[in-house]
Amino acid sequence: MNGFGTLWPVSRMLALLLLFSGASAFSACSAIQPEQPAEPQRYDVVIRGGTVYDGTGSPGRPADVGIRGDRIAAVGALDAARARRVVDARGLAVAPGFINMLSWSNESLIEDGRSQSEIRQGVTLEVLGEGHSMGPLDDAMKESLRRSQIDIKYEIPWTTLSEYLMYLERRGISTNVASFVGAATIRTHVLGLEDVQPTPGQMERMRALVRREMEAGALGIGSALIYSPGAYARTEELIELCRVAARHRGKYTSHIRGEGTGLLESVEELIRIAREAGIPAQIHHIKSPGSRERMDRALEMVE
């Protein structure tokens, strides 16, 4: 368990399957002894009779799924298996839990950790941190969060992003949760909300904050360059933050600077950040209103 708690139980479902085949080994004496009937496999839950889509893109196939505790134990024909609970999935699809790569359940998970609006749609992993994240915070940022609360009221006993996620875990949540550290949050922590550029000393403080959160389990850097104060960050600043995340096998995800006439330049910036920082990158909200040609070119650049 890291600072984010246990992220991958049954909710990953079939993405990390172990497929068990029937293999037997007999000693020499087995030839003269009567064969004993195999003990039926026992599971806590068996999902029986569904069409399994394993998340790899392969066609669906009829199979049962056996679960022990919070782990997938077997996938295949489990006709003889015994279970405390059997789920009849005939006529239904059985699939890995879906991942919401852009969740804004930051506050609603505090109010109600059951996350019914997500989990009833099959979402079992919520990824937070588009530009802003729930840490790291200083006193001024905590006060700003308190003032911005509307219908959901909550205390802020955490300071770092990992402390926030552990806070959710202690309160109880039904989905798995992970988070990028927000580039705008790092910037606000060191530079405030103004359109200013960091000095070398301030840039080092920003890198140190990223390093601490990455060591505690953050997924990487998330930016939203279409909103202030994230829009004030120049490309070089983002490269520096992403270089720190890359050393911890992090990723970069971005609501890029422009989605209309500036789309191609924005995609080019993301690709430059990825290349110079040595980090995988993802684009949020890629679209091109009014120009199919511009969209085609953007997709070519990504490819």
- Residue 25's pLDDT is what? 27
Determine the topology of domain 10-94 in CATH: Urease, subunit C; domain 1 (2.30.40)
Q: Domain ranges in the chain? A: 10-94, 98-302
Query: Both tokens of residue 257?
Result: 């600077």
Which pLDDT tens digit goes with each residue over 123-159? 999 999 999 999 999 999 999 999 999 999 999 999 9
- Residue 55's pLDDT is what? 86
Report whether 253 contacts 130 (CB < 8 A). yes
- Residue 40's pLDDT is what? 81
Report whether 96 contacts 13 (CB < 8 A). yes
Q: What residues have CB less than 8 Å from 269, skipping those under 6 apart? A: 235, 256, 257
* pLDDT averages per 10-residue partition of the chain, 303 residues: 35 31 28 50 96 93 95 94 96 94 96 95 96 98 97 97 97 96 98 98 98 98 97 98 98 95 96 98 92 96 95
- Residue 8's pLDDT is what? 35
Whose tokens are 């209103």? That residue is: 289
Query: Both tokens of residue 2?
Result: 């890291």
Give me the architecture of the 98-302 domain, per CATH: Alpha-Beta Barrel (3.20)
pTM of the entire structure? 0.81
- Residue 11's pLDDT is what? 35
- Residue 38's pLDDT is what? 60
- Residue 70's pLDDT is what? 87
278: left (phi over 0), alpha (psi -120 to 50) or beta: left
- Residue 12's pLDDT is what? 35
Q: What residues have CB less than 8 Å from 14, skipping those under 6 apart? A: 52, 53, 54, 55, 65, 72, 75, 94, 95, 96
- Alpha carbon 102 to its chain centroid, in Å, reads 9
Alpha-carbon gap, residue 45 to 102, rounded angstroms: 31
CA distances, 200 to each of 118, 136, 249 (Å): 42, 20, 24
